[in-house]
Amino acid sequence: MTDTTGRPGTPGPAVPHGPGTPQAPGTPQKPTPSRAPAAALLRTAADLGAFAPRKGPRAVVMTMGALHEGHATLIRAARAAAGPDGQVVVTVFVNPLQFGEAADLERYPRTLDADLAVAGSAGADAVFAPSVDEVYPGGEPQVRISAGPMGERLEGASRPGHFDGMLTVVAKLLHLTRPDAAFFGQKDAQQLALIRRMVRDLNFPVEIVGVETVREPDGLALSSRNRFLDAEERHTALALSRALFAARDRLAAQQALHARAQTTSATTGRAAALTALGEARAAADTQAVALARPVDGPSAVRAAALLILDDAAAGQPPLALDYLALVDPADFTEIPDDRTTGEAILAVAARVGRTRLIDNIPLTFGATT
């Protein structure tokens, strides 16, 4: 499901981020049109069942349409995984369970003809674009998937019930398409974590593949929402990625200093040992190494990011921070300040003008690089 809303050129209200919007460096916002054949259009489960028999694995990419280069990146990854004998199916379904207001649902762009061309150009064999009645016969489902406590944190706290609706439609589409693998963007990290947890907890026979975040040349995470930013707002919005990169660089520098401290002889003074290594500023390096304790990692990471976000909050137009969270990727609980090893995700959400943006970056504590 995608994160676009409103009419082109007109800022619209925030709508749910959804499955299938990855992001990575240097990729333009819109895919270049191609003369490649459009993917086959399938409207019903019966159409999907009657589609060309599989000769290899089936890979699925789930979207809410309005496809852009981020989705194309997912489709290409799915194509590479499925191979020439496999199938790639892209789902296009605007899921009403993910929208808090009916007006937002009505404004969501429907661009199926363009989606078929983008999907075909990127390597999809078919686009499954069912109606609401096909997915939810008899109306909204009375039985739904619950996202549990993880679904109430961060994005879930901002949009109560959103992840329940997302998981419900993902479960339905997995049953309908019966893929061997499903591809989702890492930009929506909490969504990806919840889908993986659902598949594991409920024994879905499918591999969930995360695709690296695609970024525009200036570092802004690729999103259909970026079109709603004017020049000044876009400049402010760059604070999200800059904050994440600053935190990553701060952690890398701290861990490099700590690694140097571990290799410095314990039987000589710090300054003397560093001087022997050819350091020009032994005294300053001695202090830096002494301060490079691994327990400073989480707090230093947060502080480096907040420094940039606070500066953007004082700018014009200002950035309104929703959250900055350093979380465990397994359950999205906050990383404690004494964490010295392990994986983490630094996630941020903020509003610039009327546009709400999210971004994140993976981090590894205790790395020796």
Residues identified as active-site: 71
Dump the DSSP string for 185-244: ETTSHHHHHHHHHHHHHTT-S-EEEEEPPPB-TTSPBP-GGGGG--HHHHHHHHHHHHHH
Which of 200, 201, 97 is closest to 139 using CA atoms?
97
Residue 206, CB-side half-sphere exposure with 13 Å CA sphere? 28
Whole-number Å distance between alpha carbons of 324 and 328: 13
Whole-number Å distance between alpha carbons of 268 and 327: 39
The phi, psi pair for 184, rounded to 5°, reads -135, 155
Which residues are CB-neighbours of 61 under 8 A, at least 6 positions away?
A: 20, 71, 74, 75, 78, 88, 89, 90, 91, 124, 182, 183
Q: Starting at the earlier edge strand, list the strands of the sheet with 126-128.
A: 40-42, 126-128, 87-92, 58-63, 181-185, 207-211
The phi, psi pair for 21, rounded to 5°, reads -125, 85
Which of 221, 209, 175, 15 is closest to 106 using CA atoms?
15
Decide if 334 contacts 153 (C-beta within 8 A). Answer: no
